[in-house]
Amino acid sequence: MTDKKRLFVKNWGCQMNVYDGGRMADVLAPLGYAPAEAPEGADMVILNTCHIREKATEKLFSELGRLRALKQERPGMVIAVAGCVAQAEGAEITARAPYVDMVFGPQSYHRLPEMVARATRAAGAVIETEFPAEEKFDHLPEGGAPQGVTGFLTVQEGCDKFCAFCVVPYTRGAEFSRPAGAILAEARRMAAQGTKELTLLGQNVNAWHGEGADGLAGLLRLLAEVPGIERLRYTTSHPRDMDEALIAAHRDIPQVMPFLHLPVQSGSDRILSTMNRGHTAEHYLRLVERLRRARPDLALSTDIIAGHPGEREEDHQATLALIREVGFAQAFSFKYSPRPGTPAAGMAGQVEEATKDRRLAEIQALLRDQQAAFNARMTGTICEVLWTGPGRHPGQMSGRTPWLQPVHALAPSHCVGRITPVRILAGHPNSLSGELAEQERTAA
Ligand code: 5AD
Ligand code: SF4
């Protein structure tokens, strides 16, 4: 008889962390761990952390403080810290929170069963923050819990770009691309479990160069052949790796959605150079032009950093100008936050907090307007919606458009997993509302 144990995983940060958190649960399932909804009563709690921006460490320690109280009531509870803060600050974590049992980085979680055995035997924390030579992906179990109508699949991990502000090359390590065969096998399993929309994940996903396909464009072609997979997306891309074949894939592969997340970070050549991005604003704009020529309905999303070291008022204005010129459907913008160990953290010309706040507010106001305008323009159109689950109100279902906008409409619950035409009635700042188009209503 296996004794049932409860596992609670809390994920912070990017979609890759969400994927990793799911895989940690898969690795632990054979040991008898079943998912728990909350840390209360759990036998193991994993905090899967993110180190990309500030306050990560403070957030972690405040969460650990709460868990410590739970552990006092339940001394057998195992507390683990995973992810990028664990990778970067393993020693500080065990020093400040000696009740933590395990600390492991993003490249070590396939070793969880062994770590659990060691943690339950030994006094003191088990720390695994090496980048092991053997590949994590080869040691992860096949299968695992289904992800749902939309699912994520990590195809590439790590980064060799070394943007001056970014911790990723230090926490996730060097670029690694999984072979096409393993990716296809995982995609087929996901499709068999009901996934229709597949998002390929990688810190530099468009630099994918794994065995078995010619670059990401070749991989997308192979994935488009997987029965059941109706939509393909990939994130996050670097402008330097957006090659002709990948641009053409947006034109030629119907499953590749007309939406692309392409971080630009700044619109100033001087700052782009300080950031070590390896491209200019002009290069980015020409790239957008080529993409839109290949796929005229392509919508773009981006990441912007406000107040990078060295940023002057004219650089900030150049960023606003680039945003105006491109017209983004959606975007993420952040105040620059010095990350320990990165070149930018030690640069001269750090920008004052108040200036960063003001610039970020200006950037966000512009991006908010662009997003609202993009959503408003959908009003009156007929849109192909992939239904993902129940909506907020009774009788309502929610889904997403090819451009990743959430849609709410009255629809039967059996529509989940199907793609149907929807008449868009209104565009809101963050979502759309609609009704099933005529032929669908009669069919339903
Ligand atoms: N400060 C602010 N934003 C950052 N990002 C990465 N590092 C930092 C930092 N030090 C942002 C970038 C990146 C996104 C994932 O997070 O815009 O594209
Ligand atoms: Fe970080 Fe730059 Fe690599 Fe993106 S490309 S993960 S921003 S170093």
CATH number at residue 352: 3.80.30.20
Is 317 close to ligand 1, i.e. is its CB under 6 Å away? Answer: no
Among residues of the chain, what percentage have pLDDT more than 70?
A: 96
The CB of 48 under 6 Å from ligand 2? The reply is no
177 and 46 belong to one structural domain: no
Looking at ligand 1, which residue's alpha carbon is closest to its atom 13? 303
285 and 397 share one domain: no
Tokens of 56: 């990560």
Contact present, 64 and 55 (Cβ < 8 Å)? no
CATH code at position 414: 2.40.50.140
Find the range with the poorest average confidence among 131-135, 294-298, 303-307, 325-329.
Answer: 131-135
Report CA(280)–ligand 2 centroid distance (Å). 16
Q: Is residue 265 within 6 Å of ligand 1 at its C-beta? A: yes
**pLDDT more than 90, % of the chain:** 80
Which of 118-122, 280-284, 324-328, 413-417 is the least confident region? 118-122
Query: Where does a domain end: 323, 350, 376?
Result: 376
Ligand nearest to the Cα of 168, by number: 2
Placement of tokens 């998912």 in the chain: 35
Are residue 41 and residue 171 in the same domain, yes or no? no
* Site to substitute for ligand 1 among 15, 303, 319, 356, most atoms within 8 A of C-beta: 303
Distance from C-alpha of 155 to C-alpha of 49, rounded to nearest angstrom = 20
Range 369-384 average pLDDT: 97
pLDDT in tens, 125-179: 888 887 764 568 777 777 777 789 999 999 999 999 999 999 999 988 899 999 9
Q: Which-ligand-closest: CA of 203? A: 2
In this structure, the answer to whether residues 330 and 207 fall within a common structural domain is yes
The predicted model gives 388-406 an average pLDDT of 95
Closest atom of ligand 1 to CA, residue 332? 17
Mutate to test the pocket of ligand 1, among 51, 52, 54 (most ligand atoms within 8 A of CB): 52
Q: What's residue 162's pLDDT?
A: 96
Task: State the burial class of residue 144 (Cβ atoms within 10 Å of its Cβ: 0-12, 13-18, 19+).
Answer: middle
Best mutation site among 14, 53, 274, 276 for ligand 1, i.e. most ligand atoms within 8 A of its Cβ? 53
Nearest CA to ligand 2 atom 1: 166
How far, in Å, from the CA of 52 to the mean position of ligand 1? 6
One domain, residues 219 and 295: yes
**What strands, in cross-sheet order, belong to the sheet with 78-82?**
33-35, 5-11, 44-49, 78-82, 102-104, 126-128
Instruction: Please report the pLDDT score of residue 1 as a whole number.
Output: 41
Residues 163 and 283 reside in one and the same domain: yes
Atom of ligand 1 nearest to the CA of 303: 17
Instruction: For residues 255 and 329, state if they share a domain.
Output: yes
Pocket test for ligand 2, best of 14, 84, 162, 264 (most atoms within 8 A of CB): 162
Domain shared by 79 and 219, yes or no: no
**One domain for residues 176 and 191:** yes
Q: How far apart are CA 284 and CA 332, in angstroms?
A: 17
Asked if residue 165 and residue 85 are part of one domain, the reply reads no
What is the number of domains present in the chain? 3
Our CA angle for 286, 287, 288, nearest 5°, is 90
Asked if residue 211 and residue 240 are part of one domain, the reply reads yes
Could you tell me the residue range of the domain that residue 28 belongs to? 5-128
End position of a domain, from candidates 84, 112, 128: 128
The verdict on the CB of residue 267 being under 6 Å from ligand 2 is no
pLDDT digit string, tens, across residues 42-87: 999 999 999 988 788 889 999 999 999 999 998 889 999 999 999 9
* Closest ligand relative to 205 C-alpha: 2
Mutate to test the pocket of ligand 2, among 154, 166, 172, 176 (most ligand atoms within 8 A of CB): 166
CA separation for the pair 416, 393 (Å, rounded): 16
Q: Which ligand lies nearest the alpha carbon of 50? A: 1
**Residue 323 pLDDT grade (very low, low, confident, very high; cuts 50, 70, 90):** very high
- Kindly state whether residues 308 and 412 are assigned to the same domain: no
Q: Given the CA of residue 203, which atom of ligand 2 is nearest to it?
A: 6
Q: What is the largest CA-CA distance in the chain?
A: 68
User: Does the pLDDT of residue 414 top 80, yes or no?
Assistant: yes
Ligand number nearest CA of 162 is 2
pLDDT in the model for residue 133: 47
Query: Is the backbone peptide bond immediately before 274 cis, with ω within 30 degrees of 0?
Result: no
Number of residues assigned to the chain:
444
